[in-house]
Amino acid sequence: MPFALIRALTQLPDPRFRRVLWRSAGLTLIGALLLALGAGWGLSWIQATDLPWLDSLLDGAAGLVVFILALVFFPSLAGLIASFFLEEIARAVEARHYPALPAPRTPPLRETVGLAARFALISAGLNLLALPLYLLLPGLNLVLYYALNGMLLSREFFEQAAQRRLEPAQADALARRHRGRLWLTGAALAFLATLPGANLLLPLIATATLVHVVERLRPAHTPDAPASA
**Chain segment 3-32, per-residue pLDDT in tens:** 899 999 999 888 888 878 788 778 878 877
Domain span including residue 206 = 2-215
Q: What does the alpha-carbon distance between residue 147 and residue 39 come to, in Å, rounded to a whole number?
A: 24
Poorest-confidence range of 1-10, 47-56, 93-102, 212-221?
A: 47-56
**Does the residue 112 lie in any domain?**
yes
pLDDT band at 227 (very low <50, low <70, confident <90, very high): low
Q: Of 81, 64, 67, 75, nearest to 30 (Cα)?
A: 81
Cβ proximity of 189 and 202 under 8 Å: yes
Q: Are 134 and 141 in contact (CB under 8 A)?
A: yes
Ramachandran angles phi, psi of 53, nearest 5°:
-65, -35
Cα of first residue to Cα of last residue in the chain, in angstroms, is 33
226 belongs to a structural domain: no
Does the pLDDT value for residue 229 go beyond 50? no
Give pLDDT, residue 65.
67
Q: How far apart are CA 187 and CA 72, in angstroms?
A: 14
Instruction: Kindly tell me if the per-residue pLDDT of 48 is higher than 70.
Output: no
Other beta carbons less than 10 A from residue 85's beta carbon: 20
DSSP letter assigned to residue 49: -
Query: What is the average pLDDT across 45-62?
Result: 59
In a domain? residue 221: no
Share of the chain above pLDDT 90, in %: 30
- pLDDT reported for residue 43: 60
Residue 75 belongs to a domain: yes
Predicted confidence (pLDDT) at residue 76 exceeds the cutoff of 80: no
Burial of residue 161 (number of CB atoms within 10 Å: 0-12, 13-18, 19+): buried
For residue 220, tell me if it sits in a domain.
no
Domain count for the chain: 1
pLDDT of res. 186: 94
pLDDT at 45: 62
The string of pLDDT tens digits covering residues 184-195 is 999 999 998 888
> Could you tell me if residue 224 is inside a domain?
no
Determine, yes or no, domain membership for 195: yes
Q: Using alpha carbons, select from 3, 78, 5 the residue that is nearest to residue 35.
A: 78
What was the pLDDT predicted at 215?
Answer: 93
C-alpha 199, offset from chain centre: 10
User: In 48-178, which residue ranges form alpha helices assigned H by DSSP?
Assistant: 52-97, 109-136, 140-162, 168-177
Residue range 64-74: mean pLDDT, rounded? 71
At residue 46 the predicted structure's pLDDT band, cuts being 50, 70 and 90, is low
Residue 225 in any domain: the answer is: no
Which residues fall within 8 angstroms of residue 209, CB to CB, at 6 or more apart? 4, 5, 7, 8, 157, 185, 189
User: Please, what is the Cα angle at 11 between 6 and 16, to 5 degrees?
Assistant: 155
The 10s digit of each residue's pLDDT in 109-137 is: 888 888 888 888 888 899 889 888 888 88
Question: At residue 146, does pLDDT exceed 90?
Answer: yes
